Chain A
Amino acid sequence: MTDVQIKNGAPEPRGFTGKLNAMSKPGRWAAITALVALFYLMPLGWFADPPGFYNPLVTFSSDFGTVLFDAAIFVLLAIGLNVVVGFAGLLDLGYFGFFAVGAYAMALLTSPASKLITDYHWLDSPWPWLAALPVAIVITALTGVLLGWPTLRLRGDYLAIVTLGFAEMIRVIAVQSEWVLGGDRGISAIPHPPGEIGGEPIFGFVDPKPYYWLVLTVIIVVVFGVRNLARSRVGRAWVSIREDEDAAELMGVPTFKFKLWAFAIGATIGGLSGALWASKVNFMNSTTFSLENSILVLAAVILGGAGSIPGAILGGFLVAYVPEWLRGLGGFLGLDINTTEYRYLIFGLVLIVMMIFRPQGIWPNRRREAEIKDRQKEVAVGE
């Protein structure tokens, strides 16, 4: 009847999560701490370029620190989208739109080249970075609520279509509204985060490592918050909505409220990653916000395993890291192939294969996995 074996009422440890949970509490924390420490040490010289041998994990043709930064941004995005898609079960195809909102809000508020300052004189001077960040996040959260308020009454496919439209809308606005967002010419001179050590700025132009460490730290904080939510009344409400929305409502779950919360939390995390990204790249324009990125983040969540935080982290990392690594590999083998160009093709194929053989993802959530299997059975019966 079921694949989950029951013994003394508790499920047998299965998969990565099961093994991790089966460890003693101090053992588990030690393992997690070691892993986190490894992530912090990864961009350093002796890991990236160890004396005496070649580290095959390091990317060849692209700077390893930059790759790690991009991967970290994708991880953050995947964690955010996982709240919407994995926890609340809402298919959001336009998640990157929130990244764009966060990035533009940050750029407009902090850049001295912002048209809010130069053309419209709404602001006298650029805002300090630390003041602009929370405002950018709040703006994105409000965008999420604004989009969710009318659309979360829709279910299933309809919601997917509306969110798809949203991301496209944001992109078109970015292209068209040269008068404030700069269109193709974009916004330049976006400042870096503040902070100095010995007169030298921590966050400079050349070294990507501090940015990576910053995003990594943000990820840890966000993971704690999201995990706390999943193991609470809110997480239970999300599961109940996913499994039987009508029954949930009749048991007193304010379903709309909690779906809106999921949307707002997802938007907030998306905006946060957009804002962090903008303050590293220094210059941004409308070409960044293509639809593929929304799909790529969704692919990360599905690949890792919807509903699982470690899955989202893994998926986000793979989606950003593997193409860069492959590109380096091509160069190493003397092939003149830019694998980045093919990454959507490759991920498309991987996703199709995954959906056939492992629809629950690489590191799935036990409950979500069972739900997917139930649904497959329903489909099989319905045929």
Chain B
Amino acid sequence: MSERKPLLEVDNVTLRFGGVVALDKVDFTLYEGEILGLIGPNGAGKTTCFNAMTGVYMPTDGAIRFRGQQISGKKRHKITKMGIARTFQNIRLFPEMTALENVQVGADAHNRGSVPSAMLRLPRFWQEERRGIKRAEELLEFVGIKGRTHELARNLPYGDQRRLEIARALATDPTLLCLDEPAAGFNPAEKVALLELIRKIRDSGVTVLLIEHDMRLVMGVTDRIVVLEFGKKIAEGTPAEVRDNPKVVAAYLGVPDAA
């Protein structure tokens, strides 16, 4: 692993909500082209970390840099435009839009035409609209739900909704895709299919950050893993290293109080 280019640097980030320290000097780097797993027991601060990266929360202390650019404090939609996209732990699609329209919203992120071009149906409008639909159709095929193109998001089966969220996020043309427990509620067969999809996404040139509970899934797909517990980073390394780390074992299985 020579010449790794850092894509996202989480630099000593602390996040406090009142007296609660949700993240405590968390520090790790994400390199271009890798799949990084972010794991930890419930309440360890994984989703909080995600939220800080996508502009939902502003770190109390420390900095988050994306391709060397400071992102804390930037507007959320600007961060998305810079190339960070995400899915949600609890699916948050636009329920009354079709699958295609959901993905189009993501594709719109890079469209420049606004009210005048839409109102007057200028050539730019048609051009962007056509391009958006084409891209959305490609992505629906890519994640494997092409047959659902014109169905309302709310009517899709659970697994397809998760896939649709990934397609919508990919439509914003990200360099970094953050997946927040994408396998939650999946059966083993669906998990295997998801694993393949995540690899396919990485192979298409997108760096992936993955929050996941299922250890087997995480171990199987990630290049490196960062482990959080009570808002602190307790381990970092390859899946094999992390698995053998006594601190990680303790965090997941618990240790006697005397220790």
CA distance A10 to B152 in the complex (A): 9
Within 8 A of B (CB), among A169-222: none
Q: Which residues of A lie under 8 Å from residue B97 when comparing CB positions?
A: 236, 239-240, 243, 367
CA distance A247 to B90 in the complex (A): 11
Query: Per-position contact with B for A220-246: 1 when CB-CB < 8 Å, else 0?
Result: 000001001100111111011001101
B86 interfacial contact with A, CB 8 Å: yes
A24 interfacial contact with B, CB 8 Å: no
Summed over the interface, the residue pairs from A and B with CB atoms below 8 Å come to a total of: 112
B106 interfacial contact with A, CB 8 Å: yes
CA distance A25 to B101 in the complex (A): 23
Q: Which residues of B lie under 8 Å from residue A2 when comparing CB positions?
A: 152, 154-155
Q: Which residues of B lie under 8 Å from residue A333 when comparing CB positions?
A: none
Q: Which residues of B lie under 8 Å from residue A10 when comparing CB positions?
A: 150
A250 interfacial contact with B, CB 8 Å: yes
**Contact B77 A253, beta carbon cutoff 8 Å:** yes
Q: Which residues of A lie under 8 Å from residue B106 when comparing CB positions?
A: 251-252
CA distance A250 to B119 in the complex (A): 25
CA distance A265 to B119 in the complex (A): 11
CA distance A228 to B115 in the complex (A): 9
CA distance A255 to B80 in the complex (A): 13
**Contact B118 A233, beta carbon cutoff 8 Å:** yes
CA distance A39 to B101 in the complex (A): 35
Q: Which residues of B lie under 8 Å from residue A225 when comparing CB positions?
A: 119-120
CA distance A228 to B150 in the complex (A): 21
CA distance A367 to B86 in the complex (A): 25
Q: Which residues of A lie under 8 Å from residue B109 when comparing CB positions?
A: 251-253
Q: Which residues of B lie under 8 Å from residue A236 when comparing CB positions?
A: 97, 101, 104-105, 108
Sorting the interface of chain B by its residue count into under 10, 10 to 19, 20 to 34 or 35 or more gives 35 or more
CA distance A250 to B85 in the complex (A): 8
**Contact B76 A374, beta carbon cutoff 8 Å:** no
In-complex Cβ contact of A250 among B80, B110, B125, B152 (8 A): B80
A277 interfacial contact with B, CB 8 Å: no
A370 interfacial contact with B, CB 8 Å: yes
Instruction: Looking at the assembled complex, report how far the CB atom of B96 sits from the nearest CB atom of chain A, in whole angstroms.
Output: 4
CA distance A239 to B115 in the complex (A): 15
* Known contacts A225-B119, A228-B119; is-contact A250 B96 (Cβ 8 Å): no
Report 11 cross-chain contacts, Cβ distance below 8 Å, ordered by A residue. Answer: A9-B150, A229-B115, A232-B118, A236-B105, A240-B94, A244-B93, A249-B76, A249-B77, A251-B106, A251-B109, A265-B115
Which residues of A line the B interface, CB within 8 A?
1-2, 4, 6, 9-10, 225, 228-229, 232-237, 239-240, 243-244, 246-255, 257, 261, 265, 367, 370-371, 374
Known: A233-B118, A240-B94, A370-B95. 19 other contacts (CB 8 A): A2-B155, A9-B148, A228-B119, A233-B104, A239-B94, A239-B96, A243-B97, A244-B93, A247-B93, A247-B94, A249-B77, A250-B54, A250-B56, A250-B86, A252-B81, A253-B77, A253-B109, A374-B95, A374-B96
